[in-house]
């Protein structure tokens, strides 16, 4: 750990407005995280445009606070109504809702809040310790390794989604779209005569279309996000008592945080898988596995500590390698790029203090999450009753503002609509649109690194395999492609 940089990072956070961004981000994240199908992704997408006008550190911290809030927020409605706001909260509902049914909802809410906060805190603490050693390894990566990292990210997203061919296909299309703009020699590539596209397809309108406006077409098919539901009353005193109960389960808590962190570090694995794996591990380790699913506190602790713990891993991978493991981290990369920073080796080399400041701030976020979630949990659970006749037009207007805010060009709003059509089609046809987003965001990186790799190794291709990092990434990529086929083969029932 570089203590000088760490102190400088702490100094960077000492501004009067920093706590406001954190509190605002947590509120927005928890509110939207509680709404099924909406989540923090929508909030970050809508706010990417205005973030042009925010200082870089404030913008990134605001977005990570939304991320933290939304991962936790999904658990509130899972506990109270068995309606997970996000897929990552499905495992929370297994025991959380069973506890609510037996009148222990405050205990479950307290356990979920405390486990979430500890998940964030512990995972980022480990990230803080390992960031520089891992960063030094990443700094040894050359263009060929970086290119391999992108390919590995695409294949591992495909492996997790179970559709490698489709993910890589859409990823390659995304790379083509991502390279539109001026060439290294200043010629227009793929602009089809529009001078405004000379700078490339603007990232904010494209993501707004893909993620926010396309979702509107799905949203308008229903009157309310959720029609009815009983919400038991909450008591702050009982919630605090529930928090205390978590301390009686330290092994489960720490194990779940570490599982979350480990899974979060892998590209594409994410919080949903983390919570499921951790829930299964807690059940296996328990003396009373038969109680799981019937209101066992350990189930809530395992699910919430791991899904929030995965955030630390995902953010670390994003900052160290520059590859997004999920849509949310893809949006965080976009936010870095908007502020002229490129996550990956460049960030470590040139903006290490900035990266430390982002990590350090997560400890403040964990503390504030504890306070905000405890005091306002009753209000957060009401958001899902908002009618779509209000929510959908508001999302549309905010999307248009976001698209126009960067350059004020109507063309950007048109680009947003075109990408919305693409996003809606991909979602309707059940294609893994994450592959496209990954390719689109990393198109520029692929263009640059491919060119450098070609110039360096075109005459001596075998030399590439003498580089350990390249070899490791190559083997991992091949494994991610062949593993599902072998797995399916060995899983087939005999006879």
Partner 1 sequence: MSQSMGRSLLVGFIWVLGLLYFLEVRRYTEPSETMTITAVFWCFTLLAGIELVRLFRSHRGRADKAAGGAGFSSILRDKRTHLALLIILYLVLIPLLGFYAASFLSFAAFGYALGARKLAHIVLPNLLVLVFIYIVFTVLLKIMLPSGLLF
Decide: is 413 part of the binding site for partner 1 (CB under 8 A). yes
Q: Is 482 in the site for partner 1 (CB under 8 A)?
A: no
Please state, in angstroms and rounded to a whole number, the distance separating the CA atoms of residues 79 and 381: 10
Is residue 487 near partner 1 by the rule CB under 8 A?
Answer: no
Q: List the one residue from 393, 465, 475, 482 that touches partner 1 (CB under 8 A).
A: 393
Q: Site residues for partner 1, window 153-182 (CB under 8 A)? A: 165-166, 168-169, 172-173, 175-176, 179-180
In the set 125, 346, 363, 431, which binds partner 1 (CB under 8 A)?
431
- Which residues touch 1 (CB under 8 Å, ≥6 apart)? 128, 129, 131, 132
For residues 186 and 462, which CB has a smaller minimum distance to partner 1 in the complex?
186
Among the listed residues 15, 29, 32, 14, the one whose alpha carbon sits nearest the alpha carbon of residue 62: 29
Helices and strands counted in the chain (H then E): 21, 2
What does the alpha-carbon distance between residue 78 and residue 199 come to, in Å, rounded to a whole number? 44
23 binds partner 1 (CB under 8 A): no
From 30-38, 282-290, 293-301, 382-390, span contacting partner 1 (CB under 8 A): 382-390
Spatial distance between the Cα atoms of 448 and 57, rounded to a whole number of angstroms: 27
Residue 414 as a binder of partner 1 (CB under 8 A): the answer is yes
Cα 382 from chain centroid? 24
Binding status of residue 55 toward partner 1 by CB under 8 A: no
Nearer to partner 1 (CB atom), residue 288 or residue 428: 428
Comparing CB distances to partner 1, the nearer of 190 and 232 is: 190
Name which of 364 and 417 has its Cβ closer to partner 1: 417
398 near partner 1, judged by CB under 8 A: yes
Which of 161, 189, 294, 339 lies at the binding interface for partner 1 (CB under 8 A)? Answer: 189
The smaller minimum CB distance to partner 1, of residues 2 and 447, is found at 447
349 with 139: CB under 8 angstroms?
A: yes
Question: H-helix or E-strand containing 455?
Answer: helix 433-457
Q: Do residues 79 and 100 lie in contact, with contact meaning Cβ atoms separated by under 8 Å?
A: yes
The tokens for 402 are 């976001």
Q: How far apart are CA 295 and CA 298, in angstroms?
A: 9
In 34-142, alpha helices (H): 39-48, 56-81, 90-101, 105-139
Give the pairing of strands 181-182 and 188-189: antiparallel
Q: Which is nearer to partner 1, 349 or 379 (CB)?
A: 379
Window of 72-80, 91-99, 363-371, 427-435 that interacts with partner 1 by CB under 8 A: 427-435
d(CA 320, CA 246): 32
CB of 457 to partner 1, least distance (A): 13
Asked if residue 217 binds partner 1 (CB under 8 A), the reply is yes
Binding site for partner 1 (CB under 8 A): 50, 53, 165-166, 168-169, 172-173, 175-176, 179-180, 183-185, 187, 189-190, 192, 213, 216-217, 220-221, 223, 388-390, 392-394, 396-398, 400-401, 404-405, 408, 410, 413-414, 417, 420, 425-426, 428-431, 446-447, 450-451, 454
């Amino acid at each position: 750990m570089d203590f000088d940089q760490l102190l400088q990072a702490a100094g960077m956070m000492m501004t009067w407005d920093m706590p406001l961004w954190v509190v605002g981000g947590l509120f927005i994240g928890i509110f939207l995280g509680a709404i099924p199908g909406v989540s923090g992704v929508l909030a970050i997408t809508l706010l990417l445009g205005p973030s042009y006008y925010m200082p870089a550190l404030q913008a990134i911290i605001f977005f990570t606070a939304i991320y933290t809030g939304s991962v936790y927020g999904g658990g509130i409605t899972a506990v109270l109504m068995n309606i997970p706001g996000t897929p990552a909260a499905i495992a929370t509902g297994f025991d959380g809702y069973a506890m609510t049914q037996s009148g222990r909802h405050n205990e479950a809410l307290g356990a979920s809040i405390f486990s979430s906060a500890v998940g964030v805190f512990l995972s980022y603490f480990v990230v803080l310790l390992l960031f520089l050693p891992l960063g030094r390894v990443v700094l040894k990566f050359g263009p060929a390794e970086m290119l391999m990292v992108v390919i590995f990210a695409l294949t591992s997203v495909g492996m997790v989604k179970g559709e490698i061919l489709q993910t890589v296909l859409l990823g390659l299309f995304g790379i083509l779209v991502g390279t539109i703009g001026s060439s290294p020699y200043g010629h227009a590539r793929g602009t089809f005569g529009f001078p405004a596209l000379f700078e490339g397809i603007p990232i904010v309108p494209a993501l707004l279309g893909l993620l926010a406006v396309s979702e509107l077409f799905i949203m308008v098919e229903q009157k309310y996000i959720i029609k009815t539901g009983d919400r038991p009353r909450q008591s702050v005193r009982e919630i605090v008592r529930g928090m205390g109960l978590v301390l009686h389960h330290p092994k489960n808590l720490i194990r779940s945080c570490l599982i979350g962190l480990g899974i979060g570090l892998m590209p594409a694995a994410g919080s949903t898988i983390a919570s499921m794996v951790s829930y299964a591990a807690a059940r296996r380790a328990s003396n009373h596995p038969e109680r799981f699913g019937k209101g066992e506190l350990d189930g809530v602790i395992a699910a919430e500590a791991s899904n929030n713990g995965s955030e630390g891993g995902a953010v670390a991978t994003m900052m160290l390698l520059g590859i997004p493991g999920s849509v949310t981290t893809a949006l965080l990369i976009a936010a870095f790029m908007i502020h002229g920073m490129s996550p990956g080796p460049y960030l470590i080399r040139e903006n290490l203090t900035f990266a430390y400041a982002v990590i350090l701030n997560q400890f403040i976020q964990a503390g504030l999450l504890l306070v905000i979630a405890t005091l306002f949990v009753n209000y957060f659970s009401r958001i899902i009753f908002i009618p779509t006749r209000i929510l959908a037009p508001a999302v549309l207007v905010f999307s248009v503002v976001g698209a126009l805010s960067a350059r004020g060009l109507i063309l950007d709003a048109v680009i947003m609509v075109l990408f919305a059509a693409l996003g809606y089609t991909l979602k309707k046809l059940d294609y893994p649109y994450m592959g496209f987003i990954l390719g689109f965001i990393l198109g520029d990186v692929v263009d640059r690194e491919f060119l450098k790799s070609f110039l360096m190794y075109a005459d001596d291709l075998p030399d590439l395999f003498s580089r350990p990092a390249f070899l490791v990434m190559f083997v991992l990529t091949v494994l991610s492609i062949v593993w599902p086929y072998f797995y399916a083969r060995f899983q087939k029932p005999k006879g």
